[in-house]
Amino acid sequence: MDLEVETQTRGDASVLVLRGEIDVYTAPRLRQTIVDLVDGGATRIVVDMEKVDFLDSTGLGVLVEGLKRIKNREGSLAIVATQDKILKIFDITGLNKAFAIHGSVDDALKEPVSGA
Amino acid sequence: MIPGGDSAQDVPELELEFPPKPEFVGTARHAVSALIRLRDLPDDLVQDVKLAVSEACTTAIADGPGEGLPIQLFASADADRVVLEVIDPGTGVERAVEGRPTDIDTDELPFDRVLSLPIIRGLVDEVAITPLEGQGMSVRMVLSVTPEEDGRAHAQP
């Protein structure tokens, strides 16, 4: 019932590897990590959700906020997700249209920054 | 309890009462999940129930007059359906009802409350949101169990 946030550097990108559950209790941790990265100058973030067991609207809100922040700096925030339970909440809310969602981190890194 | 309805409170198999604080939402979610798994219901349904419970409880964590009063959760499950009821003692659900998905403005975060009810409606087969006497709201949700032949436990949004 916790969330681990690991930040990896891949070329010019920051890859956030998430493990655990993202809800109203744990989402602030993810939010702070994204805020710190963007404030620190990151313009390319990939959020790897392959090991996320649970995501709700609070987590979505954090991701949308992160997307807005980084877009304001002409950067990109991409999602890596293939689990139905994670993709479903993007689909229900229509936010699958707002994010670039990829099947792997490698695929996400192939996209140009402006493509997100 | 919702007047005239066969609320989850009628024969609750699970009753929880917890403070309206973020750290308790996961506990509520996992308690209901354990009940569903005891019934050997499909995993897709378990996931939908967890999300519905999380959204209803998160919405109920209000900073309004209900602050400090406990959230109540009632759940029952059988081979045909899962019935959930979340009692929000405050104004969180009321404010969520007033919001509309088309009003989502990401400049005004957090907008979780605006998203929660559309998510619930997209997950469950029936939802009833009923004001309680005095103050508070009841969110009653029913999820039907259907065969997993197509990989979906249910879902009739």
More confident residue, B2 or A110: A110
Q: Which of A49-53, A96-100, B148-152 has the lowest mean pLDDT?
A: B148-152
Which chain A residue has the Cα nearest residue B47?
A85
Q: Taking CB atoms and an 8 Å cutoff, what residues of chain A touch B157? A: 92
Size of interface A-B (CB pairs under 8 A): 70
pTM score above 0.95 = no
What architecture is domain A3-108? 2-Layer Sandwich (3.30)
Q: Do B118 and A61 touch (CB under 8 A)?
A: no
Chain A hits for B23, Cβ within 8 Å: 25
* CATH C-level class of B14-144: alpha beta
- Alpha carbon B121 to its chain's center: 10
Sign of CA pseudo-dihedral B50, B56, B59, B65? negative
Residue A23 to residue B47, Cβ atoms within 8 A:
no
**Can you give the pLDDT at residue B67?**
62
Enter the ipTM. 0.91
With an 8 Å Cβ cutoff, are A61 and B123 in contact? no
Distance, in Å, from the CA atom of A110 to the CA atom of B71, rounded to the nearest integer, reads 46
B55·A24 Cβ contact <8 A: no
Judge: B54–A85 Cβ closer than 8 Å, yes or no.
no
Question: CA neighbours within 13 Å on the CB side: how many for B144?
Answer: 8
Structure confidence by residue, pLDDT tens digits, A66-94: 999 999 999 999 999 999 999 999 999 88
Supply angle C-alpha A104, A106, A109, rounded to 5. Answer: 115
**How far, in whole angstroms, is CA A59 from its chain's centroid?**
9
CA atoms within 13 A on the CB side of A71: 15
- At A7 the three-state DSSP class reads strand
Q: Which residues contact B59 (CB under 8 A, 6 or more apart)?
A: B88, B92, B93, B96, B112, B113, B116, B117, B139
Q: Which residue has the higher pLDDT, B19 or A116?
A: B19
The domain spans of chain B are: 14-144
B117 vs A contacts (CB less than 8 Å): none
**pLDDT tens, B80-92?**
999 999 998 887 7
For A43, other C-beta atoms within 10 Å of its C-beta total: 17
Pairwise CA distance, residues B77 & B94, whole Å? 27
Residues of A within 8 A of B47 (CB-CB) are 85, 88
Burial class (CB in 10 A: 0-12, 13-18, 19+), B110: middle
